[in-house]
């Protein structure tokens, strides 16, 4: 059964600025180029130049792929439609294809940024050993068609933690592929400084965790802060 679109998609209204993101200068420069292209899309058309509109974000979990997509949408003043593809996959591949087409149609109609999370759920290589490889091949063929007819004035962003299993024909269709890696101690210190600066100074001197993602560092800091604040209130 084709599912209700409202059950498959999330319209996110959180406003995130590019300056709030923590990732490599190389990734930031590439994303700024994409944003500029879409801001000057009409001017570029005059030179018969098409903007890049398919981005793949891949790498370690918790390192900013989702927040990057939100920041791009915010910079372009566009709505973002977020889809976790694990919720779209149906036991019948034909239904999955229908659900995907409906999602793409909605994004195109609303000229929104479409963010497909866990892209490996549907973009798995057609050469895999999966027992349902015939069904998966048909699904990947459907996705390739959706990609090829995706209009240039719309923006598609996909994310995966498993780049190595994505079908090669799909990979070729992304004009931009950005890798997200675990932050170094120096990068985490900058991130900790930013988070901690929002709290009173006497709470800021916490033991810092390293060899973790940005998301893990944020969760750890928030948990530590709550513990400290509650302890301070209890002692009154």
Residue 72: how many other CB atoms lie within 10 Å: 24
Residues facing 12 on adjacent strands:
80
Distance in angstroms (rounded) separating the CA atoms of residues 153 and 17: 21
Distance in angstroms (rounded) separating the CA atoms of residues 130 and 167: 13
**pLDDT for residue 8:** 58
Q: Is the pLDDT of residue 133 over 90?
A: no
For the segment 149-203, what is each residue's pLDDT rounded down to a tens digit?
Answer: 999 889 999 999 999 989 999 999 999 999 988 888 998 999 999 999 999 999 9
DSSP string covering 91-149? SSHHHHHHHHHHHHHHHHHTTPEEEEESGGGT-B-TTS--TTHHHHHHHHHHHHHHHHT
Distance in angstroms (rounded) separating the CA atoms of residues 87 and 108: 21
Mean pLDDT over all residues of the chain?
86
With 0.95 as the threshold, say if the pTM is over it: no
Q: Is the pLDDT of residue 11 over 90?
A: no
Q: Is the pLDDT of residue 4 over 70?
A: no
**pLDDT for residue 147:** 95
**pLDDT for residue 84:** 86
Taken in order 81, 112, 213, 21, the sign of the CA dihedral is negative
Average pLDDT rounded to a whole number, residues 43-67: 91
For the segment 26-48, what is each residue's pLDDT rounded down to a tens digit?
Answer: 888 999 999 999 999 999 999 99
Residue 81: how many other CB atoms lie within 10 Å: 22
- Assign 98 a pLDDT band (cuts: 50, 70, 90): confident
Q: Is the pLDDT of residue 58 over 90?
A: yes
Could you tell me which residue, 188 or 131, shows the higher pLDDT? 188
Q: Residue 25 has which token pair?
A: 């200068």
Could you tell me which residue, 220 or 9, shows the higher pLDDT? 220
Q: Is the pLDDT of residue 132 over 80?
A: no
Could you tell me which residue, 134 or 235, shows the higher pLDDT? 235
């Amino acid at each position: 059964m084709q599912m209700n679109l409202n059950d498959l998609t999330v319209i996110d209204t959180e406003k995130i600025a590019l300056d709030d993101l923590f990732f490599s200068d190389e990734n930031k420069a590439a994303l700024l180029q994409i944003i500029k292209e879409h801001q000057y899309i009409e001017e570029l058309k005059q030179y018969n130049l098409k903007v890049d509109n398919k981005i793949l974000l891949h790498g370690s979990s918790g390192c900013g792929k989702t927040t990057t997509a939100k920041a791009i949408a915010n910079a372009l003043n566009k709505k973002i439609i977020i889809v976790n593809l694990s919720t779209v996959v149906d036991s019948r591949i034909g239904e999955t294809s229908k659900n995907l087409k409906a999602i793409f149609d909605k994004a195109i109609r609303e000229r929104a940024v479409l963010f497909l999370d866990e892209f490996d759920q549907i973009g798995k290589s057609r050469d895999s050993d999966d027992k349902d490889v015939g069904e998966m091949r048909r699904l990947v063929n459907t996705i390739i068609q959706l990609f090829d007819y995706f209009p240039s004035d719309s923006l598609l962003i996909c994310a995966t933690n498993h780049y190595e299993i994505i079908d090669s024909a799909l990979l070729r269709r992304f004009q931009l592929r950005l890798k997200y890696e675990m932050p170094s101690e120096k990068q985490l210190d900058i991130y900790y400084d930013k988070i901690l600066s929002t709290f009173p100074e006497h709470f800021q001197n916490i033991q810092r965790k390293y060899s973790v993602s940005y998301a893990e560092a944020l969760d750890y800091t928030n948990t530590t802060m709550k513990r400290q604040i509650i302890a301070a209130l209890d002692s009154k």
